[in-house]
Structure 1
Amino acid sequence: MNGKHVIFSFVLLVSGFLVTFSYQQTKANPQVVQLTDGQLEQDYYYRKQLIEVEEKNKELREEVAAKQEAIQGKEENIGDQATLVQDYIDEKQKLQKLTGEVAVEGQGVEVELRDAAYIPSEENANQYIVHDSHVHKVINEMLASGAEAIAINGQRIYRNSYIACTGPVITVDGVQHPAPFVITAIGDPDVIEPSLNLQNGVVDQLVEDHVEVSVQVKGNVAMNAKVSNEG
């Protein structure tokens, strides 16, 4: 027991010494930092500089944001102009196809018109044959359905083409074609074919006029460009 008391007393002695030494050190060396007037002035100067830099950065950020907004507006304007130019190009190409200036190839629809196979003896035979009006009906419906190019018996027609009846034949731009008349259109068959076969539409009207009609979808049709006679 005496040994334990000796050790305990020694620990208390050391602890007391350490506390006393720490107090003396703190008293002798206070931690309060006193700044001179020059140091305070320098600290104020740096703080002022920092505030000015932060304000300048704010101005620059606002300027960058404004320029980015202006650039975005110009990009949108350029995009609108590019879209407008592309629309003009698409319209030009569409007109070139209709006027025959460029060759055309793609899906389409083929309509064949035949004179009636049977003509009653008491009837007027003229009422049982294909006329130019029938051909015009088919062509107009094809154009209304978005056809890009049209040909009759392989002869491509144009916006200024002339189609007329000449007895039992049809003349297209001075070229005669006997029946049957095969009218081919390049375009979306999912639009053109249903438009022709609408109830009371073109096909029904032709059948009522005793014209034999067949409509077929074509996977690929090619038409050459118009040959120029100039030069």
Structure 2
Amino acid sequence: MKLKGKHVIFSFILFITGFLVAFSYQLTSEESKIVRMNEEQLQEDIKYRESLNQVEQKNKELRAELLELKDGIRSFEEKLGNQEDLVSTYLDEKKELEMVTGEVPIQGPGVTITLNDANYIPSEDNVNDYIVHDLHVHLVVNELLSSGANAISINGQRLLKNSHIACIGPVISVDGEQHPAPFVISAIGDPEVLNASFELQNGVLDVLVSDNVEVTVEKKDQIKMDARVSGE
């Protein structure tokens, strides 16, 4: 009986020892697994951070490219704006040139100056001293041009930069077209300025009157002039 009791105790000790060994092994295995999981998570975290850094770097590069593109667009818009100003200026100058050369119709406020032969001619005087001559027409045209007239016509015929005015007997020839008196000289421009230029003392108006030319000056709200005929 005594031997049997020792055997039981010994068996119990072995059982406890085996249990502790098994428990210790299981605990070590679990800890190892936890450590491995932590290492895997750490590697994943490192990869994630690297990916995030790459994305942030790429975003930084894209933002830099975007700013560069915006600067390029802004520079292009400024150049385009300057070109538009140049084109606008060119078109304005072209339009003014076409108006001067009579290539396009023109209308606007201005004045009309009517020159007519004298109604009364003394029998003992020379008739040529009482009619309108090309000199008188030239005086009026030059005065209008110096006062800023944009366009001028004589009896409806557009006067051009190189127009030729000549006296042929009782008529006036403008670029080969003959016009009898009265001569209605129309000018488009500032009516006040154009009219004032003829009211100057000892000016063109006084010269015309002293030459026995009947003169009428009228301000107009609207004067229309056609373009010159093609081939003129």
TM-score range, shorter chain: 0.5 to 0.7
Q: Which residue of 2 aligns with 1:64?
A: 66
**What is the CA deviation profile of residues 73-111 of structure 1, one whole-angstrom value per residue up to 9, with x for unaligned ones?**
222222322332233333233222332333333322111
Q: Which residue of 1 aligns with 2:225?
A: 223
Give the distance between the partners of 2:50 and 2:204, measured in 1 at CA. 87
Q: Structure 1 150/57 Cα, relative in aligned 2: closer, same or farther at 3 Å? A: same
Q: 1:17-28 alignment to 2 at 5 Å?
A: none
Deviation at 1:216, TM superposition (A): 1.6
TM-score by length of 2: 0.65
**Deviations 1:125-180 (Å, cap 9, x if unpaired)?**
76665442332232233334443331112222222211123345432223333443
Cα pair distance change 1:55/1:140, threshold 3 Å: farther
Q: How does 1:130-149 map to 2 (within 5 A)?
A: 130-149=132-151
- Pair 147,44 (structure 1): closer, same or farther in 2 beyond 3 Å: same
Post-superposition offset of 1:197? 4.2
Aligned counterpart, 1:175: 177
Shift of 1:54: 2.1
Q: CA offset at residue 225 of structure 1?
A: 2.5
Question: How far apart, in 1, do the equivalents of 2:69 and 2:146 lie?
Answer: 48
Q: In structure 2, give the amino acid aligned to 1:61.
A: R
Quick one: structure 1 residues 210 and 61, their matched pair in 2 at CA, closer, same or farther if it must change by over 3 Å?
farther
Residue 28 (structure 1) aligns with: none
Partner of 2:44: 42
1:20 paired residue number: none
- Give RMSD over aligned pairs: 3.6
Stretch of structure 1 that moved more, 110-119 or 120-129 = 120-129
Give the paired residue count. Answer: 197
Q: List gaps (5 residues or longer) in structure 2.
A: 1-34
Compare 122-131 and 183-192 and name the one that shifted more: 122-131
What is residue 164 of structure 2 aligned with on the other side? Answer: 162
The letter of the residue matching 2:42 is: L
| TM-aligned CA distance change 1:47 to 1:203, over 3 Å | farther
Report the equivalent of 1:19. none
1:215, 1:64 → 2: CA distance? 67
User: How far did 1:204 drift?
Assistant: 5.4
Match of 1:51 in 2: 53
Amino acid corresponding to residue 192 of structure 1 in structure 2: L
Q: What is the SS of the residue equivalent to 1:159?
A: coil
Gaps of 5+ in 1: 1-33
Task: Determine the structure 2 residue equivalent to 1:101.
Answer: 103
Could you give the per-residue CA deviations for residues 60-80 of structure 1, whole angstroms, max 9, x where no partner exists? Answer: 112111111212222222232
Specify whether residues 47 and 131 from structure 1 end up closer, same or farther in structure 2 by C-alpha distance, changes over 3 A only.
same
Secondary structure of the structure 1 residue equivalent to 2:83: helix
Please, what TM-score do these two structures have when normalized by structure 1?
0.65
Percent of counterpart pairs with the same letter? 57
Residue 167 to residue 104, structure 1, CA distance change in 2 (3 Å): same
* 1:199 positional shift: 6.0
